[in-house]
Protein backbone atom coordinates (compact mmCIF):
# COMPACT_ATOMS: atom_id res chain seq x y z
CA UNK A 1 0.00 0.00 0.00
CA UNK A 2 1.27 3.44 -0.94
CA UNK A 3 0.19 6.18 1.42
CA UNK A 4 -1.56 9.27 0.15
CA UNK A 5 -0.99 12.30 2.31
CA UNK A 6 -3.68 14.61 3.56
CA UNK A 7 -3.50 18.27 2.63
CA UNK A 8 -6.10 20.72 3.81
CA UNK A 9 -5.76 23.01 0.81
CA UNK A 10 -4.39 20.38 -1.60
CA UNK A 11 -1.24 22.48 -1.95
CA UNK A 12 1.73 20.37 -3.05
CA UNK A 13 4.44 19.69 -0.51
CA UNK A 14 7.90 20.19 -2.00
CA UNK A 15 10.32 17.50 -0.82
CA UNK A 16 14.03 17.15 -1.55
CA UNK A 17 15.46 13.63 -1.41
CA UNK A 18 19.20 13.13 -1.03
CA UNK A 19 20.65 9.77 -2.03
CA UNK A 20 17.96 9.52 -4.69
CA UNK A 21 19.81 6.84 -6.68
CA UNK A 22 20.12 4.37 -3.80
CA UNK A 23 17.58 1.63 -3.15
CA UNK A 24 15.62 3.70 -0.60
CA UNK A 25 15.79 6.81 -2.79
CA UNK A 26 14.42 4.86 -5.76
CA UNK A 27 11.66 3.35 -3.61
CA UNK A 28 10.68 6.80 -2.37
CA UNK A 29 10.40 8.02 -5.94
CA UNK A 30 8.33 4.99 -6.97
CA UNK A 31 5.88 5.49 -4.08
CA UNK A 32 5.74 9.29 -4.09
CA UNK A 33 2.25 10.47 -3.07
CA UNK A 34 0.18 12.56 -5.47
CA UNK A 35 0.48 15.79 -3.49
CA UNK A 36 4.27 15.72 -3.25
CA UNK A 37 6.40 17.81 -5.57
CA UNK A 38 9.64 15.84 -5.63
CA UNK A 39 13.22 16.97 -6.13
CA UNK A 40 15.25 13.75 -6.39
CA UNK A 41 18.93 14.57 -5.89
CA UNK A 42 21.50 11.87 -6.47
CA UNK A 43 25.21 12.30 -5.86
CA UNK A 44 25.59 13.47 -9.47
CA UNK A 45 23.20 16.35 -8.79
CA UNK A 46 24.08 17.25 -5.20
CA UNK A 47 27.24 16.56 -3.19
CA UNK A 48 25.92 16.74 0.36
CA UNK A 49 29.48 16.85 1.73
CA UNK A 50 29.81 20.34 0.17
CA UNK A 51 27.95 22.85 2.40
CA UNK A 52 27.93 25.48 -0.35
CA UNK A 53 26.27 23.08 -2.78
CA UNK A 54 23.66 22.15 -0.21
CA UNK A 55 22.91 25.79 0.62
CA UNK A 56 22.61 26.65 -3.07
CA UNK A 57 20.26 23.71 -3.71
CA UNK A 58 17.98 24.72 -0.85
CA UNK A 59 17.97 28.33 -2.04
CA UNK A 60 17.09 27.22 -5.56
CA UNK A 61 14.39 24.65 -4.76
CA UNK A 62 13.09 25.98 -1.41
CA UNK A 63 11.73 22.61 -0.22
CA UNK A 64 9.26 22.21 2.61
CA UNK A 65 10.99 19.02 3.71
CA UNK A 66 14.22 17.07 3.23
CA UNK A 67 14.56 13.29 3.33
CA UNK A 68 18.20 12.41 3.90
CA UNK A 69 18.42 8.96 2.34
CA UNK A 70 22.10 9.41 1.47
CA UNK A 71 24.57 7.35 3.46
CA UNK A 72 27.91 5.61 3.36
CA UNK A 73 26.70 2.03 3.83
CA UNK A 74 29.74 -0.09 2.92
CA UNK A 75 30.05 -1.52 6.44
CA UNK A 76 33.34 -3.37 5.97
CA UNK A 77 34.98 -0.79 3.71
CA UNK A 78 34.25 1.90 6.29
CA UNK A 79 36.79 0.33 8.64
CA UNK A 80 39.59 1.51 6.34
CA UNK A 81 37.77 4.47 4.76
CA UNK A 82 36.98 6.34 7.95
CA UNK A 83 37.24 9.87 6.57
CA UNK A 84 34.70 9.31 3.80
CA UNK A 85 32.31 7.43 6.08
CA UNK A 86 32.27 10.33 8.55
CA UNK A 87 32.09 12.95 5.78
CA UNK A 88 28.83 11.47 4.48
CA UNK A 89 27.26 10.02 7.62
CA UNK A 90 28.24 12.75 10.08
CA UNK A 91 29.45 16.02 8.53
CA UNK A 92 26.90 16.05 5.71
CA UNK A 93 24.10 15.20 8.14
CA UNK A 94 25.20 18.13 10.31
CA UNK A 95 25.14 20.46 7.31
CA UNK A 96 21.65 19.36 6.29
CA UNK A 97 20.41 19.74 9.87
CA UNK A 98 21.84 23.24 10.29
CA UNK A 99 20.40 24.48 7.01
CA UNK A 100 17.06 22.78 7.56
CA UNK A 101 16.73 24.48 10.94
CA UNK A 102 17.78 27.87 9.58
CA UNK A 103 15.24 27.64 6.75
CA UNK A 104 12.38 26.09 8.74
CA UNK A 105 12.50 22.88 6.67
CA UNK A 106 11.25 19.59 8.11
CA UNK A 107 14.05 17.00 8.06
CA UNK A 108 13.75 13.21 8.07
CA UNK A 109 17.15 11.60 8.60
CA UNK A 110 17.58 7.85 8.04
CA UNK A 111 19.83 5.98 10.46
CA UNK A 112 20.60 2.38 11.35
CA UNK A 113 20.38 -0.45 13.88
CA UNK A 114 24.20 -0.49 13.84
CA UNK A 115 24.20 2.26 16.48
CA UNK A 116 23.55 -0.58 18.98
CA UNK A 117 26.09 -3.14 20.21
CA UNK A 118 23.77 -6.13 19.87
CA UNK A 119 24.21 -7.35 23.44
CA UNK A 120 20.52 -7.11 24.36
CA UNK A 121 18.10 -10.00 23.92
CA UNK A 122 14.94 -7.89 23.81
CA UNK A 123 14.01 -5.22 21.23
CA UNK A 124 15.91 -1.96 21.54
CA UNK A 125 13.79 1.03 22.59
CA UNK A 126 14.38 4.38 20.89
CA UNK A 127 16.08 5.66 24.05
CA UNK A 128 18.18 2.54 24.65
CA UNK A 129 21.92 3.19 25.16
CA UNK A 130 23.90 3.27 21.94
CA UNK A 131 27.27 1.60 21.58
CA UNK A 132 28.29 1.07 17.94
CA UNK A 133 30.91 -1.62 17.29
CA UNK A 134 32.40 -0.31 14.05
CA UNK A 135 33.12 2.79 11.99
CA UNK A 136 29.87 2.60 10.05
CA UNK A 137 27.72 2.52 13.19
CA UNK A 138 29.85 5.15 14.92
CA UNK A 139 29.64 7.52 11.96
CA UNK A 140 25.86 7.06 11.76
CA UNK A 141 25.52 7.71 15.50
CA UNK A 142 27.61 10.87 15.09
CA UNK A 143 25.17 11.92 12.37
CA UNK A 144 22.20 11.29 14.67
CA UNK A 145 23.73 13.42 17.40
CA UNK A 146 24.48 16.22 14.95
CA UNK A 147 20.89 16.20 13.66
CA UNK A 148 19.54 16.31 17.21
CA UNK A 149 21.86 19.19 18.09
CA UNK A 150 21.29 21.34 15.04
CA UNK A 151 17.69 20.55 14.11
CA UNK A 152 15.58 19.58 17.13
CA UNK A 153 12.40 19.42 15.02
CA UNK A 154 13.82 16.64 12.83
CA UNK A 155 12.77 13.00 12.78
CA UNK A 156 15.51 10.38 12.92
CA UNK A 157 14.36 6.98 11.65
CA UNK A 158 16.52 3.96 12.40
CA UNK A 159 16.01 0.99 10.12
CA UNK A 160 17.61 -2.42 9.53
CA UNK A 161 18.48 -5.05 6.92
CA UNK A 162 17.08 -3.12 3.95
CA UNK A 163 16.31 -4.82 0.65
CA UNK A 164 14.31 -3.91 -2.45
CA UNK A 165 13.81 -4.63 -6.14
CA UNK A 166 16.41 -1.91 -6.73
CA UNK A 167 20.22 -2.09 -6.63
CA UNK A 168 22.21 -4.83 -4.94
CA UNK A 169 21.06 -6.30 -1.63
CA UNK A 170 20.94 -9.54 0.34
CA UNK A 171 17.72 -10.84 -1.23
CA UNK A 172 18.93 -10.40 -4.79
CA UNK A 173 22.34 -11.87 -3.90
CA UNK A 174 20.72 -14.97 -2.36
CA UNK A 175 18.54 -15.45 -5.45
CA UNK A 176 21.57 -15.25 -7.71
CA UNK A 177 23.68 -17.62 -5.61
CA UNK A 178 20.85 -20.11 -5.22
CA UNK A 179 20.55 -20.26 -9.01
CA UNK A 180 24.32 -20.65 -9.46
CA UNK A 181 25.39 -22.98 -6.64
CA UNK A 182 24.54 -26.35 -5.14
CA UNK A 183 24.59 -25.06 -1.55
CA UNK A 184 24.96 -21.86 0.47
CA UNK A 185 26.45 -20.91 3.83
CA UNK A 186 24.87 -18.08 5.82
CA UNK A 187 25.53 -16.71 9.31
CA UNK A 188 23.03 -17.94 11.89
CA UNK A 189 24.15 -15.96 14.98
CA UNK A 190 23.18 -12.46 13.85
CA UNK A 191 19.50 -11.73 14.49
CA UNK A 192 17.45 -8.74 13.35
CA UNK A 193 14.44 -7.66 11.32
CA UNK A 194 14.63 -7.74 7.51
CA UNK A 195 12.96 -4.64 6.09
CA UNK A 196 11.52 -3.98 2.65
CA UNK A 197 12.25 -0.44 1.51
CA UNK A 198 8.51 -0.10 0.80
CA UNK A 199 7.78 -0.28 4.53
CA UNK A 200 10.31 2.45 5.23
CA UNK A 201 9.21 4.61 2.30
CA UNK A 202 5.55 4.47 3.34
CA UNK A 203 6.56 5.42 6.88
CA UNK A 204 8.61 8.38 5.67
CA UNK A 205 5.78 9.64 3.47
CA UNK A 206 3.42 9.40 6.43
CA UNK A 207 5.89 11.47 8.45
CA UNK A 208 5.65 14.24 5.85
CA UNK A 209 2.07 14.71 7.00
CA UNK A 210 2.38 14.10 10.75
CA UNK A 211 5.82 15.76 11.12
CA UNK A 212 6.77 13.95 14.33
CA UNK A 213 10.02 14.89 16.05
CA UNK A 214 12.67 12.76 17.72
CA UNK A 215 13.99 9.23 17.23
CA UNK A 216 11.88 6.46 15.70
CA UNK A 217 12.44 2.85 14.69
CA UNK A 218 11.11 1.44 11.44
CA UNK A 219 11.61 -2.14 10.34
CA UNK A 220 9.28 -4.93 9.38
CA UNK A 221 7.90 -6.89 12.30
CA UNK A 222 9.27 -10.24 13.37
CA UNK A 223 12.72 -11.64 13.98
CA UNK A 224 15.11 -13.62 11.80
CA UNK A 225 18.74 -14.61 11.54
CA UNK A 226 20.48 -14.13 8.21
CA UNK A 227 20.19 -17.93 7.89
CA UNK A 228 16.42 -17.81 8.45
CA UNK A 229 16.15 -14.98 5.94
CA UNK A 230 18.13 -16.89 3.29
CA UNK A 231 15.96 -20.00 3.71
CA UNK A 232 12.77 -17.92 3.48
CA UNK A 233 13.98 -16.13 0.35
CA UNK A 234 14.42 -19.45 -1.45
CA UNK A 235 11.11 -20.85 -0.23
CA UNK A 236 9.09 -17.80 -1.24
CA UNK A 237 10.91 -17.46 -4.57
CA UNK A 238 10.22 -21.12 -5.42
CA UNK A 239 6.56 -20.73 -4.49
CA UNK A 240 6.09 -18.09 -7.19
CA UNK A 241 8.45 -19.58 -9.78
CA UNK A 242 11.23 -17.07 -9.37
CA UNK A 243 13.57 -19.97 -8.56
CA UNK A 244 13.32 -23.47 -10.03
CA UNK A 245 14.58 -25.19 -6.88
CA UNK A 246 15.95 -24.61 -3.41
CA UNK A 247 19.50 -25.50 -2.42
CA UNK A 248 20.71 -26.52 1.05
CA UNK A 249 21.69 -23.64 3.34
CA UNK A 250 24.36 -24.35 5.92
CA UNK A 251 24.19 -22.28 9.13
CA UNK A 252 27.55 -20.63 9.75
CA UNK A 253 28.96 -19.23 12.96
CA UNK A 254 30.21 -15.66 12.80
CA UNK A 255 33.75 -16.93 13.41
CA UNK A 256 33.47 -19.04 10.24
CA UNK A 257 32.69 -15.95 8.17
CA UNK A 258 35.06 -13.24 9.46
CA UNK A 259 34.55 -9.67 8.24
CA UNK A 260 36.55 -6.47 8.84
CA UNK A 261 33.64 -4.89 10.74
CA UNK A 262 31.84 -6.32 13.75
CA UNK A 263 28.07 -6.58 13.42
CA UNK A 264 25.49 -6.54 16.21
CA UNK A 265 24.46 -10.08 17.17
CA UNK A 266 20.95 -8.85 18.00
CA UNK A 267 19.49 -5.66 16.55
CA UNK A 268 15.72 -6.07 16.74
CA UNK A 269 14.13 -2.68 17.45
CA UNK A 270 10.95 -1.66 19.27
CA UNK A 271 8.63 0.02 16.74
CA UNK A 272 5.72 0.96 18.98
CA UNK A 273 6.39 4.71 18.89
CA UNK A 274 6.44 4.66 15.09
CA UNK A 275 3.26 2.59 14.92
CA UNK A 276 1.56 5.08 17.22
CA UNK A 277 2.35 7.88 14.75
CA UNK A 278 1.27 5.78 11.76
CA UNK A 279 -1.90 4.45 13.36
CA UNK A 280 -1.28 0.90 12.12
CA UNK A 281 0.96 -2.12 12.73
CA UNK A 282 4.00 -2.50 10.50
CA UNK A 283 3.92 -5.65 8.33
CA UNK A 284 5.70 -8.88 9.18
CA UNK A 285 8.97 -9.32 7.29
CA UNK A 286 7.83 -12.52 5.60
CA UNK A 287 4.73 -10.78 4.17
CA UNK A 288 6.90 -7.96 2.85
CA UNK A 289 9.40 -10.42 1.37
CA UNK A 290 6.62 -12.21 -0.47
CA UNK A 291 5.32 -8.96 -1.94
CA UNK A 292 8.80 -7.76 -2.95
CA UNK A 293 9.59 -11.05 -4.71
CA UNK A 294 6.29 -10.84 -6.60
CA UNK A 295 7.24 -7.37 -7.83
CA UNK A 296 10.70 -8.62 -8.76
CA UNK A 297 9.17 -11.48 -10.76
CA UNK A 298 7.04 -9.00 -12.69
CA UNK A 299 10.24 -7.20 -13.67
CA UNK A 300 11.87 -10.45 -14.86
CA UNK A 301 9.18 -12.28 -16.85
CA UNK A 302 11.69 -14.68 -18.40
CA UNK A 303 12.91 -15.95 -15.05
Q: Is the dihedral of CA 202, 167, 51, 139 positive or negative?
A: positive
Question: Using alpha carbons only, how large is the chain's radius of gyration in Å?
Answer: 19
CA geometry: angle 212, 62, 139, nearest 5 deg = 55
Nearby residues of 255 by Cβ (< 8 Å), 6 or more positions away: none
Q: Which residue from 266, 147, 169, 131 is spatially nearest to 216, judged by alpha carbons?
A: 147
Burial of 215 (0-12, 13-18, 19+ CB in 10 A): buried
Active site residue 166: no
106-112 and 155-159 strand pairing: parallel
Q: How far apart are CA 251 and CA 185, in angstroms?
A: 6
Phi first, then psi: give them for residue 187, nearest 5 degrees: -65, 135
User: E strands within the chain?
Assistant: 13-18, 36-41, 65-68, 106-112, 155-159, 162-163, 184-187, 191-192, 195-196, 214-217, 224-225, 249-252
Q: Which of 106, 136, 227, 266 is catalytic?
A: 136
Q: Which residues belong to the active site?
A: 136
Amino acid sequence: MTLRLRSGNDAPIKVLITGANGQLGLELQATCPANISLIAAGRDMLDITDPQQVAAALAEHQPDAIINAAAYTAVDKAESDVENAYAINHSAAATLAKLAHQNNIYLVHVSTDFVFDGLQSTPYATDAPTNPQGVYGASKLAGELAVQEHCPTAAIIRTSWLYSIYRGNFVKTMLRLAAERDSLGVVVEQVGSPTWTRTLADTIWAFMDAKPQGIFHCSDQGVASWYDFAVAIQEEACNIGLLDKTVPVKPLLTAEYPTPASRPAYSVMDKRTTESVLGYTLPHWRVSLRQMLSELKQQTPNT
